[in-house]
Amino acid sequence: MKVIRTGAILILLSVVLVVAGGAIGGRGGMQIALVIAVVLNFVSYFFSDKIALASSGAQPVTREQLPRLYQVMEGLAAKASIPVPKLYVVPDAAPNAFATGRSPSHASVAVTQGLLQIMNNDELEGVIAHELSHVRNYDILTSSIAATIAGAITYMAQMGRWAMLFGGYGGNRDDERGGGGLSALLMIFLAPFAALLLQLFLSRTREYAADETGVRMVGHQQGLISALEKLGAYNRRIPTSAISPSTASLCIVKPFFGSGTLSSLFSTHPPLEDRIAALKQMVVTPLR
């Protein structure tokens, strides 16, 4: 059911992109939108992990440098029946972690220096299990595709606003050659909002699922609950110095950027209080 729901959301996002292109630019706009969707999905599939790691300044680490991290990662990867991801450390005092990569065989997990400094072994295990759950469930790939399609929709809407401002689109063309004025106007303002809501729903659903799978991987929820509580407290005080807003949706908790943030209604992450409450009520079953 989760796979079907995720696939349905990605299809809906693609449909919104193509329909928006058609409404704004007619048949030509629809064809352009379809090409954009294909190109962006290709880029997301092959390069989203490299972009996320490079933008955060993540550096690869060896077993000799961080034996504790490797020990936790190797043990959990064996439980999850997936290859051990490549490990990176982000030079950032704000505690956080993220996973990236298009499949378990091409995955990387990055943790910040701040996270390694404040987490005990149980908490670190909970965090890593959450990130490996994203890898195991192919969440990074689906989230990256959703983000790029949503970004393309927003970009097209911005182009449509400028075009309408300067008379590029409107009711002087028929539906075969250009977008109708009213439909174009509606799509310019409604399509980005619809894409944002679909993307946020997908991201929040994936976070709850990763919490659940991670707990089942470890066998108890105490470590992850304690880690989330600690991450929430620290990330309200320490702004990130390395993680960019484009990578923030991949993190286990929403980074603090040192300025006002959007309402939780438009956050890619569910409220920490809700995640912790769900974990406390969870009946742990073995991972299969």
Give CA–CA dist 288/170, Å, rounded: 55
DSSP for residue 97? E
> Radius of gyration of the chain from Cα atoms?
21
Cβ atoms within 10 Å of 284's Cβ, excluding its own: 13
DSSP for residue 248? G
Cβ atoms within 10 Å of 114's Cβ, excluding its own: 22
Looking up tokens 């997936």 gives 82
Q: Which of 230, 243, 209, 220 is nearest to 98 (CA)?
A: 243
Give CA–CA dist 288/159, Å, rounded: 47
Catalytic residues: 131
Give CA–CA dist 38/210, Å, rounded: 28
Cβ atoms of 85 and 113 closer than 8 Å: no
Buried b (16+ CB within 10 A) or exposed e, 179-215: bbeebbbebbeebbebbeebbbebbbbbbebbbbbbb
Give CA–CA dist 31/18, Å, rounded: 8
Contacts for 273 with CB less than 8 Å, ≥ 6 apart? none
Give CA–CA dist 274/288, Å, rounded: 25
Q: Which phi and psi angles does 65 have, rounded to 5°? A: -75, -40
